[in-house]
Amino acid sequence: MRKRLHISPAVLIAALLASGPASAQAPQAAGGAAKVPTSREMNLLCWQEFSELVPQKIRTVLVPTGSLEPHGVIPNGTDNLAPEAMARDISARVDALIAPTLNYGMTDSMKAFPGAVSISAEAYGMVVDDILRNLAGNGFKNIIVLNGHGGNTAVLNAAATRVANRERVRVLVVNWWTLADDITKSVFKQNGGHAGNNETAYVQAVVPGHVHPERYNADMASPNPPAGAYYAVPVTSTIGLYEKGQGYPTFDPAQAREYFRKVNDRVAELILDTIAKWDRAGIYK
Ligand SMILES: [Zn+2]
């Protein structure tokens, strides 16, 4: 029997708000009142408006980074869709603009799967370095990388270190699924996994129509190897459980909604706290 995914209207509305253009949520103020940006997305701003905003009014930019790789029964672009929706949801709260998403990353161990694209560490490091350096050159003081893919982390951290020291800016790299580890355990009462309960729920809140429980079978999941125990390329399963027996996708719309909100609250809190501490310390003010 084919299982159907039931989505409540509230989840659909939340998803539409999360994935809609930021301009729809930021109407222009009338008369002499302080102007609200016509959009928080750099893709949608003209250069004249950008020059009025940065750095005089806005000093922070969110940079979503991800990958194109298999994810169980959720989209290959999950690692892009998640941080992009996160950026749209929190940008006003942290008073930031949103840079275009870097939709390609390093996924050599999964590139054998249909639709995957992987780029080399060397190329990725150079591209990230250039993007961060250019954002600093445009006047941003706080560059917040919202990373959606664990395979990128080491190269992102290295680029962040180089650019921060060379350009005298502050760079924060956030791996949301690790930051939200305790939220995963409290919402699902279990640990998570790559394309597991946590990532599936998050992306279900963003693009519910592109999650496919009818294609799912628990045999598609494998526990991640204990450190150093073994290594398989290509990976044997695209759902990688952090702990054996835990982290299978639940496809529950209420959990998806709750998880999306709690993860975003946590990421926004981290960003605000980090910037406040940089400010207090007087670093690169
Ligand atoms: Zn992922």
Band of the pLDDT at 31, cuts 50, 70, 90? very low
Ligand 1 centroid to Cα of residue 31, in Å, is 45
* Beta carbons within 10 angstroms of residue 239's beta carbon: 26
CB-side exposure of 156: number of CA atoms within 13 Å? 25
pLDDT for the residue numbered 108: 96
Contacts of 127 (CB under 8 A, 6+ apart): 102, 119
CATH topology (fold) of 9-18+39-274? Rossmann fold (3.40.50)
d(CA 271, CA 54): 18
Taking the centre of ligand 1 as the mean of its atom positions, its distance from the CA of residue 152, in whole angstroms, is 11
**CA 33 – ligand 1 centroid, Å:** 42
How many angstroms does the Cα of residue 101 sit away from the middle of ligand 1?
Answer: 15
pLDDT at 285 (0 to 100): 84
The full set of domain ranges for the chain reads 9-18+39-274
Name beta bridge partners: 32.
none
For residue 35, what pLDDT band results from cuts at 50, 70 and 90?
confident
Q: What is the mean pLDDT of the chain?
A: 91
What would the pLDDT profile of 169-201 be if each residue is shown by its tens digit? 999 999 999 999 999 999 999 999 999 999 999
Specify the residue for token string 């924060």: 172
Distance of CA 11 to the CA centre of its chain: 19
For the segment 114-142, what is each residue's pLDDT rounded down to a tens digit?
999 999 999 999 999 999 999 999 999 99
In the chain, the amino acid numbered 10 is A
- pLDDT over 70 at 9, yes or no: no
Distance 263 CA to ligand 1 centre (A): 15
CA distance 120 to 79: 17
**Which pLDDT score, from 0 to 100, does residue 34 have?**
64
Tokens 């962040």 belong to 160
Among the listed ranges 21-35, 72-86, 121-135, which one has the minimum average pLDDT value?
A: 21-35
What is the pLDDT, as a whole number, of residue 8? 52
